[in-house]
Amino acid sequence: MTDTHAGASPGRGDAHFAVFPDREDAAAAARLFARPGTRTLPHASGRPWLIGRWHDDEIVTAQAGPAALAVIGCSPLDTARLSHRAAQLRDLAQLDALARSTPGSFHLVAALDGRLRVQGTASGLRLVFHAEIGGVRVAATRADVLGAALGEEPDVEQVAVRLLWPVPHPLQETPLWRGVTTVPPQDALIVAPDGRAARHSRWWTPPEPVRTLTAGADLARDALADAVNTRTRHGGTVSCDLSGGLDSTSICFLADRSPAHVVASTWPGRDPADTDLHWARQAAGFLPDVEHVVWDADASPLVYTDLLTIDDLLDEPTIGVMDRSRVLHHLPGMAERGSRLHLTGIGGDHVAWCSEAYYHRLLRTRPLFALRQLRGFRALWQWPLGGTARALSDARPYGKWLRDSVGQLRDPLPATVTGALGWGGAPRLFDWVTPEGEWLAARALRAAAESAQPLHRDRGLHADLEQIRSCTRIIRQWDAMAARAGVPMASPFLDDRVIEAFLAVRPAERVSPWQYKPLLTAAMRDVVPQEWLRRSNKADASMDASNGLREHRADLLALWEDSRLEHLGLVNGDALRDLALRPATPGLQQAILYSTIAAEVWLRGLPRGAKTGATTSI
């Protein structure tokens, strides 16, 4: 199976594509996606199957009789193994087992007897969207290309939803273009032979958290090692973050075991009390074959840097723009040292730790144990007794909790304990959001609450899954930005197999007020030296954020001049401009500006010609 393409091959790490049914009437739709530089992978009939951009190293394909398979991304699968799977394929449901057992992070596309199956990852790092275009069902890995093919402009109501802080499940999964549908990460898209009828088929379910820490630690280590090995087994030079934290250090030590040459990268914090550099150097001392690069702390971009010059094409607003410059700044230096891939520890906080909301159930099933642990959490996080008691007694189902939040959008931010022990952070809108913006967001929130179901019946596992998905929605955009900068990024903690291994351990043993990340510490006991594993804290970079507000207030002020959100009637520009002049305003340290900045930057980055003055669509 070969593909045709025009122009230069794209850089690694930014594969994106659309998928078409094997039908004559799909030709018109396919023409809308063919551009200079795109590649085409055909069906056996010669009609377009995949059209998009990918590097040769990112795709493996196989065909056997009526079956064809394509794996796009990172996996250990090669042509021989995939051909064997294709030869055995009799039903698309058989691919559930392949998707649930293969390490790495990838899209899986299949064609069988005229039917299509398209899926991403359970983590949400690789998403799938679909729309009916020209009478056929087209799937794609980006929502914006489907919106453009439909001739749609982003829906203002969905822009208003993105002003919520935070955006709760399931609203964050709704695309910003009408007519475009998201495939939930746990589902695969199945397209019927007629090329139009489509359904979602569940292929992934989170594991029940029943393993002991002792039994689960080795499995977690093996899953994480497989994730790193999948990316390093071909050797060459790779780079790693070595922040001094447990997550990045674990990745660095695992990479050092591979055939690859490792370059470790450390950005010291500007806070004199930040001990991350000390711990990073301690770790590097155990890695004599690793080249350790320590950057100048004062050269590190602050939060809010370069917001006015971001020109990445994004298919949704992302708060990742706040840290874009910080994330990408060192990648050219890694490229100069020969790095073909940069590994991060991102996701460790979401996988190796877990939500304290599990104690809502544990209090009812193991009350004495839960009360003892909750006393520790109260002391650790300074939770007030009354707020803790109210959060633990709140038994509202998810839909009612979401519906009740509609009437609280203008309330002050809730106490930390409320979100920590509940269904999650209750969404809020802030003073600069107009009544029209509030009305639109509330309408969408109210409609979602009518049928909303949690990601899991246990609010702890729901919170874990929601936080993982919130993280991956940022990382998928950073990954595209990094590929454009010249060195693709990868975050092994966010591979599905790794997530499963960590979530399978009992929450009572995975999160504790008495020990920092006990599961990851146990998993790394034979990988990372014990002297290093005794670290029990990490820096929070709050000084970099507060300094960024102060030093970039001129940029923030300029951002609100000729504000796209203001033109849409969603924000009060005068209020935002006044706030930019007062960076020490109480509350700004809690990131309450993030969602608004994300939406504004995204609107400014829309392709030229997009309308921004309508009241029902942009």
Q: Is the pLDDT of residue 361 over 90?
A: yes
Q: What is the pLDDT of residue 537?
A: 64
Q: Is the pLDDT of residue 581 over 70?
A: yes
Domains of the chain, earliest start first: 4-202 (3.60.20.10), 358-460 (no CATH)
Instruction: Give the pLDDT band (50/70/90) at residue 1.
Output: low
Q: What is the pLDDT of residue 617?
A: 37
Token pair for 462: 């729901």
What residue spans of 382-505 are helical by DSSP H? 385-393, 398-405, 416-421, 435-451, 459-485, 496-503
pLDDT tens by residue, 485-519: 999 999 999 999 999 999 999 999 999 999 989 99
Q: Is the pLDDT of residue 6 over 50?
A: no
Token pair for 111: 């064609």
Q: Is the pLDDT of residue 618 over 50?
A: no
Q: What is the pLDDT of residue 59?
A: 97
Q: Is the pLDDT of residue 12 over 90?
A: no
- Tell me the average pLDDT across 198-216: 97
Q: Is the pLDDT of residue 15 over 50?
A: yes
- 3 state SS of 390: helix
pLDDT tens by residue, 308-356: 999 998 999 999 999 999 999 999 999 999 999 999 999 999 999 889 9
Orientation angle between helical segments 213-232 and 496-503, nearest 10 degrees: 170
Token pair for 125: 């790092």
- Pairwise pLDDT comparison (11 vs 42), residue with the higher score: 42
pLDDT tens by residue, 88-131: 999 999 999 999 999 999 999 999 999 999 999 999 999 999 99
**Residue 40: beta bridge partners?**
4, 51
Q: What is the pLDDT of residue 609?
A: 53
Q: Using the CB atoms, write b or e for 307-332: b if 16+ within 10 Å.
A: beeeebebbbbbbbbbbbbbbbbbbe
Computed over every residue of the chain, the mean pLDDT equals 93
Instruction: Give the pLDDT band (50/70/90) at residue 9.
Output: very low
Residue located via tokens 């794609």: 140
pLDDT tens by residue, 161-176: 999 999 999 999 999 9
Q: Is the pLDDT of residue 610 over 60?
A: no
pTM for the full model? 0.95
Angle at the Cα of 234 (from 265 to 232), degrees rounded to 5?
Answer: 35
Write out the DSSP string of 313-356: --SS--GGGGGHHHHHTTHHHHHHTT-S-EE--TTHHHHTS--T
Tell me 10's DSSP state: P
Q: Is the pLDDT of residue 576 over 80?
A: yes
Q: Is the pLDDT of residue 542 over 70?
A: no
Considering only 63-67, 323-327, 528-532, which range has the smallest mean pLDDT? 528-532
Residues 200, 217: contact at Cβ < 8 Å?
no
Residues 441, 575: contact at Cβ < 8 Å?
no
Q: Is the pLDDT of residue 2 over 80?
A: no
Residue located via tokens 């025009």: 6
